[in-house]
Amino acid sequence: MRALRNVCFVLIFLGPLYAKAQVGVYGEFSAAKINQPNTSWVYGPTFGAYYDPWHVPFIGAGIDLRAAFLSTGSTTLDSGLVGPRLVFIPHVLPFQPYAEVLGGIGHDQFGQGVAKQTATDFEYQFLGGLDTTILPRIDWRVVEFSYGGVSGLGSSLNPETLSTGIVVRLP
């Protein structure tokens, strides 16, 4: 009887840990305000992929890898980031909220002529978003907001970014 109870415990509570990992690739349209004087919003694509191998009931965890190429006029913000990802999976609703903390390399450029400033340095982002399923294996990334920082140029830039896009979940 004790062995049966242990097997049931493993299947019910620990079984999802060994569930098939979730992999997704995504493309987003992003708009960011760099929060520096005399700079405009920058726009462009964000591409990435996530891998969520750890699952317990209602929660998945994994890693996200992304690149963004945002620009307008003489202002650019390019980045390559990686970090942990946590997703809430309610199962009864088609929504999946998620949160991530990312770090990596950021390249920024703004200003013109002698006031032009360029730096490539450490970048971080705290972000959260909401995905909803629109077709089997295809999600709409309804909204994603991130707040981050790029070191360098004697001060830290703090871009705030809004994004929306499409996620394709791979089998």
Dist. CA 22–CA 3, nearest whole Å: 31
Q: Are 152 and 129 in contact (CB under 8 A)?
A: no
Helix (H, G, I), strand (E, B) or coil at 10: helix
Q: What is the number of other CB atoms lying within 10 angstroms of the CB of residue 10?
A: 12
Q: What is the number of other CB atoms lying within 10 angstroms of the CB of residue 6?
A: 10
Tell me the pTM.
0.83
Buried b (16+ CB within 10 A) or exposed e, 60-85: bebbbbbebbbeeeebbbbbbbebeb
What CATH number corresponds to the domain at position 120? 2.40.160.20
Dist. CA 51–CA 93, nearest whole Å: 21
Which residue has better confidence, 29 or 7? 29
Q: What angle do CA 74, 79, 82 make, to 5 degrees?
A: 170
What is the maximum alpha-carbon separation in the chain? 80
Please give the tally of structural domains in the chain.
1
Backbone angles phi, psi at 16, to 5 degrees: -60, -20
Backbone angles phi, psi at 14, to 5 degrees: -100, -15
Identify the burial level of 26 via C-beta atoms within 10 angstroms of its C-beta, where 0-12 means exposed, 13-18 middle and 19 or more buried: buried
Q: What is the pLDDT of residues 26-83, one digit of tens each?
A: 999 999 998 777 778 999 999 999 999 999 989 999 999 999 999 998 889 999 999 9
Q: What is the pLDDT of residues 99-156, one digit of tens each?
A: 999 999 999 887 777 667 788 899 999 999 999 999 999 999 999 999 999 886 556 7
The range of the structural domain enclosing residue 13 comes to: 2-170
